């Protein structure tokens, strides 16, 4: 699979759920959520056991219910449905974080920039600076199902997106051309326009020159008919795949648009983040207004590297070059951004360390719900995410880091609950399996590593979704 065991990396890998200074129980949130806050209550409803489960376990509201008691209660059909509720399942599975390992998935000789599970968890996509995009079949022992050699790559693969039906993959780089590949074809090797067609979708209709701008972020719409992209010319572009043409471009920010994502399954709302330090909300039903944002959210002091939506059209998180990960509620957005914010003169995150004194700076008009700190956002556009709704109730948020680790925070308390430490260079991207207690990290050291619960010396077997990826009978019982 391309992993050279003679290369350094795994011998020194450590799963570190406790920090060197005991920070696993230390508050890593600037201001933890109050128990009366709506987000606190919504997360609690998704990730805490139901009242019927508590009664079956004979446990008070403040006391946790043991796994054995919950399984026993399910056997007595406490819910009346013969199975766990989604909150009960999330409460159980959310206790078992994917912190054991790691096990190697692959290693390349170039930096890994992007890596993500498909929405159903059956596939895993990793994009490397050296032109390769690999698609792994998770259900078939992580075999390489497709090895794509990217066409007309400029600098690196900046983003990939898999269509909702998992038939097509688009990839972008620092050029206005997005390439689309049919990943459902039988050939494993995919060389551009040799044994596979890599159609080039030209986003430069409103620009001049082949390298007039680059694309940092690209996403399929929820119906798979359109692509939305954030670019280095401060704009958002929309491409109609059925008509095979660019349908709109509008200036969205005053600097690079590093990230775009959909707010929910309707596809109507889009979130964007930029080097101008602003998060913006866009209503696709109002695109005709030539780029007028539905609202602006201020709070970051430096550029925004990534945004992930909670999927409810209301809350999202963002990573910032000010070394903070922020939680937002779009109902707090305003029509205009505050122009005043403290900044560090002559500081460049691409090659300079963030001044320790600057971590105490705060935006005077910060509209975020909470800020989480501890990881490092330097050198590259490091990504962050909510943990899966199915298995954790989105109780956690997690992020890569310039210090070569993955950090997992409790979104409500702000505590750092895990630090996954094994890589030798920056972890730019990471992805939590939508159903299994499994997380995959990808790094500039070229290593794609898998973390799971529980851990053992042997590589754990992978099975179909209606089973469990691990041998433990307790997990089988939870999923069934």
Quick one: pLDDT at residue 360? 85
Sign of CA dihedral 320, 324, 327, 331: negative
pLDDT at position 16, please?
Answer: 47
How far apart, in whole angstroms, are the C-alpha atoms of residue 71 and residue 396? 24
Cα 23 to Cα 374: distance, rounded to the nearest angstrom: 10
The 8-class DSSP code of residue 27 comes to B
- Reported residue count of the chain is 480
Q: How far is CA 178 from the centre of its chain?
A: 21
The answer to whether 31 and 19 have CB atoms below 8 angstroms apart is no
Enumerate residues 6+ apart whose C-beta is below 8 A from 443: 111, 112, 400, 404, 423, 424, 425, 426, 427, 428, 449
SS3 60: coil
> How many other C-beta atoms can be found within 10 angstroms of the C-beta atom of residue 36?
7
Helices (H), 237-343: none
Judge whether residue 294 has pLDDT over 50.
yes
Percent of the chain with pLDDT over 70: 75
> pTM for the full model?
0.85
Q: What pLDDT, on the 0 to 100 scale, is given for residue 37?
A: 81
Q: How far apart are CA 193 and CA 196, in angstroms?
A: 5
Average pLDDT, the chain: 83
Antiparallel, parallel or unpaired: β 189-191 and 143-149: parallel
Token digits of residue 259: 């990230």
Per-residue pLDDT tens digits for 316-349: 999 999 999 999 999 999 988 876 777 787 899 9
Other beta carbons less than 10 A from residue 82's beta carbon: 8
Angle of helix 86-93 relative to helix 67-75, nearest 10 degrees, comes to 150
Distance from C-alpha of 399 to C-alpha of 81, rounded to nearest angstrom? 36
Token pair 């995009």 is found at 133
Side-chain-facing half-sphere of 258: CA atoms under 13 Å: 23
pLDDT in tens, 134-150: 999 999 999 999 999 99
Whole-number Å distance between alpha carbons of 147 and 191 = 8
pLDDT value at residue 461: 42
* pLDDT tens readout for residues 192-230: 655 577 899 999 876 555 558 999 999 999 899 999 999
Verify cis geometry, omega within 30 degrees of 0, for the bond prior to 454: yes
pLDDT score of 324 = 97
Q: Quick one: tokens of 469?
A: 């990826």
pLDDT-derived band at 51 (thresholds 50, 70, 90) equals low
Partners of 136 in the β-ladder: 124, 144
Helix axes 38-47, 86-93, angle to 10 degrees: 90
Q: Which CATH superfamily is domain 18-43+90-343+361-454 in?
A: YVTN repeat-like/Quinoprotein amine dehydrogenase (2.130.10.10)
For residue 52, the surrounding DSSP H or E stretch is helix 51-57
User: Is residue 96 pLDDT above 90, yes or no?
Assistant: no
> pLDDT, tens digit, for every residue of 102-146?
999 999 999 999 999 999 999 999 999 999 999 999 999 999 999
Instruction: State pLDDT tens for residues 219-267.
Output: 999 899 999 999 999 999 999 999 999 998 889 999 999 999 999 999 8
Q: Is the pLDDT of residue 156 over 50?
A: yes
More confident residue, 282 or 2: 282
Residue 244 or residue 61, greater confidence: 244
Q: Where are the beta strands (DSSP E) in 331-469?
A: 370-372, 384-386, 396-399, 405-410, 416-421, 427-432, 438-443, 447-452
Q: What's residue 210's pLDDT?
A: 53
Residue 23 pLDDT: 41
Distance CA 257, CA 4 (A): 37
pLDDT on residue 399: 98
Which of the four pLDDT bands, split at 50, 70 and 90, describes residue 69? low
User: CA-CA-CA-CA torsion for 236, 115, 117, 324, nearest 10 degrees?
Assistant: -70
- ω into residue 247 within 30 of 0, thus cis? no
In sequence order, the β-bridge partners of residue 228 are 219, 238
Specify the domain boundaries for CATH 2.130.10.10 within the chain: 18-43+90-343+361-454
DSSP secondary structure string for all residues of 357-394? GGGG---TT---SEEE-SS---SS---EEEPPHHHHTT
**pLDDT band at residue 271 using 50, 70 and 90 as cut-offs:** very high
* Contact in structure between 156 and 173 (CB atoms under 8 Å): yes
For 370-405, write each residue's pLDDT tens digit: 999 999 999 999 999 999 999 999 999 999 999 999
CA-wise closest residue to 217 among 349, 143, 127? 127
Round to whole Å and give the CA distance between 280 and 333.
8
Beta strands in 81-153 (DSSP E): 100-107, 112-117, 123-128, 132-137, 143-149
């Amino acid at each position: 699979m391309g992993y050279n065991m003679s290369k350094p990396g795994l011998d020194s890998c450590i799963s570190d759920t406790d920090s060197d200074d005991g920070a696993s129980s230390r508050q890593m949130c600037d201001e933890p959520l109050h128990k009366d806050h709506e987000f606190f209550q919504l997360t609690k409803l998704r990730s805490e056991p139901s009242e019927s489960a508590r009664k079956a376990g004979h446990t008070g509201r403040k006391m946790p219910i043991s796994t054995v008691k919950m399984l026993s209660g399910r056997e007595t059909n406490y819910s009346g449905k013969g199975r766990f509720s989604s909150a009960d399942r999330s409460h159980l599975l959310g206790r078992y974080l994917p912190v054991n390992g790691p096990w190697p998935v692959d290693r390349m000789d170039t930096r890994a920039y992007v890596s993500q599970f498909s929405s159903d968890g059956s596939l895993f996509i990793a994009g490397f600076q050296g032109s390769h995009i690999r698609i792994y079949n998770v259900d078939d022992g992580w075999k390489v199902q497709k090895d794509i050699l990217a066409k007309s790559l400029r600098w690196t693969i900046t983003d990939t997106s898999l269509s909702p039906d998992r038939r097509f993959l688009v990839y972008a780089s620092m050029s206005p051309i997005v390439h689309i590949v049919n990943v459902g074809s039988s050939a494993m090797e995919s060389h551009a326009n040799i044994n596979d067609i890599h159609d080039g979708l030209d986003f430069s209709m409103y620009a001049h020159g082949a390298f007039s701008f680059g694309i940092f972020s690209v996403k399929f719409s929820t119906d798979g008919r359109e692509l939305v992209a954030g670019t280095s010319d401060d704009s958002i572009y929309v491409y109609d795949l059925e008509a095979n043409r660019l349908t709109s471009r509008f200036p969205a920010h005053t600097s690079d648009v590093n990230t775009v994502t959909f707010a929910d399954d309707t596809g109507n709302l889009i979130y964007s983040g930029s080097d101008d330090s602003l998060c913006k909300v866009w209503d696709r039903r109002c695109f005709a207004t030539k780029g007028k944002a539905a609202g602006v959210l201020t709070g970051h002091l430096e550029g925004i590297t990534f945004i992930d939506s909670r999927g409810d059209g209301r809350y999202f998180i963002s990573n910032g070059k000010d070394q903070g990960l922020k939680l937002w509620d779009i109902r707090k957005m305003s029509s205009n951004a505050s122009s005043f914010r403290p900044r560090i003169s002559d500081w460049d995150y691409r090659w300079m360390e963030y001044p320790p004194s600057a971590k105490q700076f705060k935006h005077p008009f910060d509209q975020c719900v909470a800020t989480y700190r501890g990881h490092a956002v330097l050198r590259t556009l490091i990504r962050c995410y909510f943990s899966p709704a199915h298995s954790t109730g989105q109780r956690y948020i997690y992020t890569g880091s310039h210090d070569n680790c993955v950090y997992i925070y409790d979104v409500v308390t702000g505590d750092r609950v895990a630090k996954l430490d094994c890589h030798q260079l920056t972890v730019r991207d990471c992805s939590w399996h939508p159903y299994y207690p499994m997380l995959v990290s990808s790094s500039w050291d070229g290593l794609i590593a898998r973390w799971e619960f529980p851990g053992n010396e042997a590589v754990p077997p992978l099975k179909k979704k209606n089973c469990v990826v691990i041998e433990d009978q307790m997990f089988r019982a939870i999923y069934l």
